[in-house]
Amino acid sequence: MAKKKKRKEKKESKKTEKTKKKKQEKKTGKKVKKKKKQEKKTETKGKKEKKGKKTKKKIEELIILGSGCAGMTAAIYAARADLEPLLLAGPEKGGQLIWTTKVENYPGFPEGIDGTKLTELFRKQAERFGTKVIDDKAVSFEAKKTYFNIGTEKESFKAKAVIIATGARAKMLGLKSEQKYFGRGVSTCASCDAYFFKGKDVVVVGGGDSACTEALFMAKLDINVTIIHRRDKLRASKIMQERVFKNKKIEMIWDSVVEEVLGDGTMVTGVKIKNVKTGKTKKIKCAAMFLAIGHKPNTEIFKDKIKMDNKGFIIAEDTKTNIKGVFAAGDVQDPVYKQAVTAAGSGCKAALEAEGYLAESKQ
C-alpha cells in the first residue's frame, strides 16, 4: 500500500511539473511574441519616420563646371588647397582639346602631345589631389541666399562657390564631310594647326576680324591662303582689311559658300564651293580648311542670371563675375585668345579667387 501511495505521489508530482513547465512555456512564448510584435512596431515606425524625413543634401565648398584646361587647372589648385572640389565634366570630357590631334604649343611637351591624352593627364592630376569628377553636365543654375544650386541631368548639387569653365564651341558649317575631316585638315584654330601646313595651300572661311587674323598669321608661315566669304565685302575692321588686301599670300573668293569638304579618306584634299549669286559650283585644291565664323560660348543656363556681352561671353574681372562667389575661367569669358595655355592660366586665377572668397566667408 505504501509503495502504491509513493508511486501515485511521484506520478502526480511529475504531472504538476509538466503542467508548470507548459504554463511557463506558454507565458514565455507570449512574452517573446509580444516582444517581437513590439520590435516590429518600432521598426515600422522607424521606417515611416525615415521615409518622412528628407536626407539633408551636403553643401560642397566648390563646384567646378567643365573639364577643359581651365576647369581641370582650377580643380588641381582647389584640391591642393584642401577645398575638395566637385567637378562636373560636361558633355565634352576634356573640352575642345579632344578634337586636336596634336598639341604643339603647350609647355612641357617638346615633341607635342595628342589632345585627348593631354586632357586625360589633366584629369589624373586633379583626381590625385582629391578632386571628385562626375561625368555629367549642368543643366540649371540658381543662386540662393547662402549657396548655389546646380542641377544636372541626373541629380542636383549645392555649393558655397562655383567656377564656370564650360568653354566655347567654334561655329561649324554643318556639313557631314566637315565632321569627317575634323582634325584631319579641317580646323578652327590657325595658331594651333597652321604649322602643319607650311608651304601649302589652305582656305579660310569667314569675313570678320577672326578670319583676317587667321589668314595673316598663316601667310607669315609661307602658307598660301584663300579667304572664302559669302558676301561681296568683308565685315572686318578697316585696318584688318587693308592688311589682308596688301598681302600677296592672300587671295579672296567673294559671294561663295563651301558645299563640301573633299578628301582622300585620310586628309583634306580640297573643297567644293558654290557662288550664291550665280549658283555655279567649282572645286578648289587645298590641304586644309580653317573655319573662322565665330565661337558660341556655353552659357545658356546662365542667361539673365550672370552678366554677359552681346555674344554670350561672361563678363569677368580677374575671373570674378557680377555674382559674389561665382567665378568664370577659360574660353567662356575669353572672346579673344581662346588658347589652352591662357585657359589654364585663368583656371588657376579662378581657383585662387574662390579660395580667398571661401576663407573670407568663414570669418
Please list the active-site residues: 189, 192-193
Dist CA 189 CA 197 (whole Å): 13
Residue 262: which of 149, 327, 180, 191 has the closest Cα? 180
Write out the three cell numbers for 97: 582639346
Contacts of 249 by beta carbon, 8 Å cutoff, 6+ apart: 218, 219, 222, 223, 224, 225
Answer yes or no: are the C-beta atoms of 288 and 202 closer than 8 Å: yes
H or E segment to which residue 88 belongs: strand 86-88
- Whether 249 contacts 219, CB under 8 Å: yes
Other Cβ atoms less than 10 A from the Cβ of 179: the count is 13
Residue with the three cell numbers 564650360 = 166
